Structure 1
């Protein structure tokens, strides 16, 4: 049976999968990538060589920042499939920080990128004639 620290580390990996990358989940949790990786991997104590645990307060802060109910990090979710429908409908990290104008600008930028024709294979900026 997994102990609480193993369960929490497994659930951090699930959050990483849900958010798409370690950087994305670290940003969503308002922590550095190194802090997230140390929690996820159970950084070893320099004196004992054992993996460090996670404090209860840290676990609750992560629950809250990830939009999960209190105690979510303490329950083994590894056997449950990831809900791809809710994952695909999730807002991008930082989306809530943008005002309406900012969101419209981002959406317009993405529409512009998607509307661009694909370049022919082998075409690069270096292959194009220059107006020297």
Structure 2
């Protein structure tokens, strides 16, 4: 996991981007993917098997989660047939929705808040939201 607080904090003003994130987080398959990847890194094939969904459905959700920065490719392994297999992991990220336009001062204050929260919770397990 990255140690850079900027990679762990996503600040969005209410916009099309924030609507995309909200749709993504209201999608049952996306939430199941995030929960699994929060426990361990997995390939698309492993995720599809675990969730009992078709690979193309899973791929759509993975692409959306990647685009939103909620997951990332941890590493790439190779199949026996020489095919590239991406192994995904969840990104620990706090999402803040702002009803006003994002400005440097607000971003700085939120970044400092995140740093303080991170330091105070260091080593503690954060409870999972359901």
Answer 1 or 2: higher relative contact order, Cα 8 Å, separation at least 6: 2
More strand as a share of residues: 2
TM-score by length of 2: 0.29
TM-score by length of 1: 0.28
Higher Rg: 1
